[in-house]
Amino acid sequence: MRSSDPLVPNAWVTINPDDGIIVKFAITEIGQWSMTYTPLILAEFLDADWDKVKVEIITVHDEAYGNPAFNNILYTAAVPT
């Protein structure tokens, strides 16, 4: 791996050579703040600059991101209260 290549430890996180971090989400944000606190925890753990952390929403139905319980389809559901 060259120093100009991004580090991709898994399908969900990419760390770029400029220290930018991309966190991928395959769910819809429906009020739990998960698209805020998950990247925030990752940035804290990596001692990263919070301004360089971005969230990318996955829009493709792919085995890497889809839910196997739903035939790898991207699916978010809520239970009405």
Classified by CATH at the fold level, domain 7-70 comes out as: Aldehyde Oxidoreductase; domain 4 (3.30.365)
Q: What pLDDT is recorded for position 61?
A: 66
Query: Tokens 């991709």 map to which residue?
Result: 8
Per-residue pLDDT at 13 exceeds 90: yes
C-alpha span between 33 and 1 (Å, rounded) = 35
DSSP 8-state class, residue 30: -
Q: How far is CA 11 from CA 31, 69, 77, in A?
A: 24, 18, 22
Contact 58, 39 (CB under 8 A): no
Render pLDDT for 14-67 as a digit per residue (tens, 0 to 9).
999 999 999 998 777 777 778 888 889 999 999 999 899 999 988 776 778 777
pTM: 0.75
